[in-house]
């Protein structure tokens, strides 16, 4: 199946309590946790699916406000969920997150958009946080409309686009192709004048 930008995604409703086999950790008052320990380079969590070609295998997460006895709708700017990675920086025996031994190194996060009104579909944003010598910060954001914002340069093949302001000469030395709504255009590349 060929997927394109702006294709609609319509998932089926899922009730995990109706699964044939399940193991639930935690209840309405006590949290549940799963920790897998190993010293081998192996697939610690491996999912295997065989079925319909257009039905993918997902890892699902549901975010609610409130508590397990009284689940409430999410609101604007709520963090929904994602994947966080930690890296050990000092010897130790900590298991899981420990700022002194295994600080947070990066994350993929989904959050509710700041302009979500609380009605209709939940507007979402995707964030990528990475760590450099200045610490961890959001380096890439895709908003609910698919607009991409990046903290760094964008490189495609031999072309790198930056947000640095420069002064160019009036005669372009090369043109590159850009496509807008199926129509091809030429973008002029000018040599940079020395300041």
pLDDT of residue 17: 67
pLDDT digits (tens, 9 = 90+) for 114-172: 999 999 999 999 999 999 999 899 999 999 999 999 998 888 888 888 888 777 777 88
pLDDT band for 22, please (50, 70, 90 cuts).
Answer: confident
Average predicted confidence (pLDDT) for the chain: 85
Q: Report the 10 Å Cβ neighbour count for 85.
A: 13
pLDDT of residue 12: 67
| Residues 49, 52, 55, 61, CA torsion sign | negative
What predicted TM-score, i.e. pTM, was given to this entire model?
Answer: 0.76
Mean pLDDT of 84-88: 91
DSSP three-state, residue 77: coil
Q: What is the DSSP string of 86-114?
A: E---S-----S-BTTTB-EEEEEEEEE-T
Beta strands in 18-156 (DSSP E): 65-67, 70-72, 79-86, 104-112, 124-132, 135-142, 148-150, 154-156
């Amino acid at each position: 199946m060929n997927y394109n930008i702006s294709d609609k995604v319509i998932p089926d409703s899922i009730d995990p309590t109706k699964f044939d086999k399940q193991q639930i950790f935690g209840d309405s008052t006590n949290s549940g946790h799963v920790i897998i320990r190993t010293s081998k380079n192996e697939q610690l969590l491996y999912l295997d699916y065989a079925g319909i070609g257009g039905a993918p295998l997902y890892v699902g997460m549901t975010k609610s406000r409130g508590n397990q006895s009284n689940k409430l709708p999410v609101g604007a700017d709520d963090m929904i969920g994602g994947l966080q990675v930690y890296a050990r920086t000092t010897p130790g025996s900590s298991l899981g997150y420990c700022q002194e031994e295994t600080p947070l190194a990066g994350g993929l996060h989904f959050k509710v958009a700041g302009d979500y009104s609380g009605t209709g579909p939940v507007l979402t944003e995707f964030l990528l946080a990475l760590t450099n010598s200045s610490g961890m910060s959001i380096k890439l954001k895709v908003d609910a409309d698919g607009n991409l914002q990046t903290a760094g340069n964008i490189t495609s093949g031999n072309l790198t686009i930056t947000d640095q302001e420069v002064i160019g000469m009036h005669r372009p030395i090369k043109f590159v192709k850009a496509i807008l709504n199926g129509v091809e255009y030429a973008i002029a590349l000018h040599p940079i004048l020395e300041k």
